[in-house]
């Protein structure tokens, strides 16, 4: 800590840590760029190909790196999480340039977008791992819930600003100028990330191999019932809940509500506003309640809200439901991140948070499933099927590990 003063009980207490004052705006700009390019490229692929399957394939490719995310965690534990995060964010800038240049030259192709999405998807899923682990490294334990809530606001507020800015720039100026904005955001986020602190190397050279360290992390999870249950729930929501709000909103906007990219921006921003409000509530009260119960109840309510959303054909009512969905999502996922950081020993933190990202692999699988099922059965039936499966599995996990997470 340094000369930045505030009350220990203030929601701004984590900003007394110098590293957090660099990391929070760096994460904000990165999240803003993520959301802008996801909306811009998702709409571009849907309009250019007129295929919901290719739309969901684009969404899936952004998460292919979840399979190697545990290795990112192991490498970060060995060479330093700050170095890994800085390298990743410089890479985002380079890949944004790879889209910006052909877009400005009016030679961009949707299949090139899928190639770049694949390359970015090898790295992006690990960004949240590095963020959370660095917060765990640098922020004192009593402020951890507040810091995680503030960190979550970088994603949620960026979804609002990024969605509206991305849609507005795309609709007004076209994809090329819009991507200039994305590239500039990545440049500034990279510069700020170099100001973040953190141990340069947490493991001595010559220690266990990365594979042995990863295996040790997996053994820890397997023998920790609470962590194992949380991992299963994380995989479940990524498989059956996130695909609806992360991948199908361009389809909902165009095919169900009949709106353009600005309308899509409103839908994304509505969900993000709810998530931001949920984050703010968790900042204030998250350390007062049992995280396990917040996780379970939040997930079940999330599925119920998705089932209601699937039946709406009016944009204004859909926006209200998305607002609620966003809040429930924040309750569940912030509580899950806090619980994992609190119960995981520091020496395992990077690799455990990395293994947690394997759960995100449920999202590309779920997205591909929705792409096929929506074309076969329609949007409403697909979402209801996912919601029913999600609720039943959540109840089973809660019952199976009730002594470990329902407390």
pLDDT above 70 as % of the chain = 84
Query: Is residue 12 assigned to a domain?
Result: no
Query: Is residue 294 assigned to a domain?
Result: yes
Q: What is the pTM of this model?
A: 0.75
Mean pLDDT of the 342-349 span:
65
Q: How far is CA 232 from CA 32, 171, 355, 359, in A?
A: 29, 40, 11, 7
Report how far residue 85's alpha carbon sits from residue 71's, in angstroms, rounded to the nearest whole number.
14
Q: Are 11 and 123 in contact (CB under 8 A)?
A: no
Of the given ranges (174-178, 256-260, 275-279), which has the lowest mean pLDDT?
275-279
**Residue 196 pLDDT class (50, 70, 90 cuts):** confident
Report how far residue 152's alpha carbon sits from residue 326's, in angstroms, rounded to the nearest whole number.
12
Within 10 angstroms of residue 191's Cβ, the number of other Cβ atoms is 16
- The closest of 206, 229, 355, 194 to 299, measured between CA atoms, is 229
Query: Is residue 50 assigned to a domain?
Result: yes
Query: Is residue 202 assigned to a domain?
Result: no
Query: Is residue 11 assigned to a domain?
Result: no
| Residue 344 belongs to domain with CATH number | 1.20.1250.20
Sign of CA dihedral 276, 237, 88, 140: positive
Domain residues for the domain of 340 are 17-196+208-405
Q: How far is CA 52 from CA 25, 198, 259, 271, 376, in A?
A: 34, 42, 16, 21, 11
Which tokens go with 217? 């992390």
Query: Is residue 53 assigned to a domain?
Result: yes
Number of structural domains (the chain) is: 1
Q: Per residue in 97-107, pLDDT tens?
A: 999 999 999 99
The tally of CA atoms less than 13 A away on the side-chain side of residue 255 is: 17
Query: Is residue 222 assigned to a domain?
Result: yes
**Residue 122 pLDDT class (50, 70, 90 cuts):** confident
> For the chain, what is the total number of helices (H) and then of strands (E)?
19, 0
Of the given ranges (40-44, 241-245, 348-352), which has the lowest mean pLDDT?
348-352
């Amino acid at each position: 800590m340094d000369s930045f003063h505030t009350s220990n009980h203030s929601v701004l207490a984590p900003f007394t840590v110098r590293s957090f004052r660099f990391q929070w705006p760096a994460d904000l700009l990165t999240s803003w760029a993520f959301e802008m390019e996801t909306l811009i490229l998702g709409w571009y692929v849907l309009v250019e190909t007129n295929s919901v399957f290719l739309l969901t394939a684009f969404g899936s490719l952004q998460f292919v790196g979840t399979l190697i995310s545990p290795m990112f965690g192991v490498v970060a534990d060995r060479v330093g999480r700050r170095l890994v995060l800085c390298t990743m964010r410089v890479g985002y800038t380079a890949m944004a340039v790879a889209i910006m240049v052909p877009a400005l030259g009016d030679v961009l192709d949707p299949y090139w977008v899928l190639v770049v999405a694949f390359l970015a998807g090898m790295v992006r899923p690990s960004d949240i791992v590095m963020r959370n682990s660095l917060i765990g490294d640098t922020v004192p334990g009593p402020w951890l819930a507040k810091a995680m809530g503030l960190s979550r606001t970088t994603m949620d507020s960026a979804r609002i600003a990024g969605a509206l800015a991305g849609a507005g720039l795309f609709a007004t100026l076209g994809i090329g100028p819009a991507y200039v904005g994305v590239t500039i955001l990545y440049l500034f986020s990279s510069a700020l990330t170099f100001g973040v602190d953190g141990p340069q190397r947490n493991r001595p050279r010559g220690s266990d191999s990365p594979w042995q360290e990863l295996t040790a992390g997996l053994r820890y999870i397997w023998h920790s019932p609470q962590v194992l249950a949380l991992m299963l729930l994380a995989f479940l929501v990524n498989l059956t809940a996130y695909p609806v709000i992360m991948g199908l909103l361009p389809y909902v906007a165009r095919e169900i509500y009949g709106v353009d990219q600005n309308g899509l921006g409103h839908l994304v921003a509505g969900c993000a506003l709810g998530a931001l409000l949920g984050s703010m509530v968790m900042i204030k009260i998250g350390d007062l309640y049992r995280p396990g119960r917040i996780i379970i109840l939040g997930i079940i309510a999330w599925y119920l809200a998705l089932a209601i959303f699937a039946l709406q054909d009016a944009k204004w009512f859909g926006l209200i439901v998305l607002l609620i969905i966003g809040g429930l999502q924040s309750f569940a996922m912030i509580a899950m991140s806090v619980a994992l950081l609190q119960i995981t020993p520091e020496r395992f933190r990077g690799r455990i948070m990395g293994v947690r990202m394997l759960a995100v692999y449920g999202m590309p699988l779920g997205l591909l499933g929705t792409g096929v099922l929506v074309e076969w059965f329609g949007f409403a039936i697909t979402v209801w099927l996912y919601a029913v499966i999600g609720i039943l599995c959540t109840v089973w996990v809660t019952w199976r590990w009730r002594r470990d997470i329902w407390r």
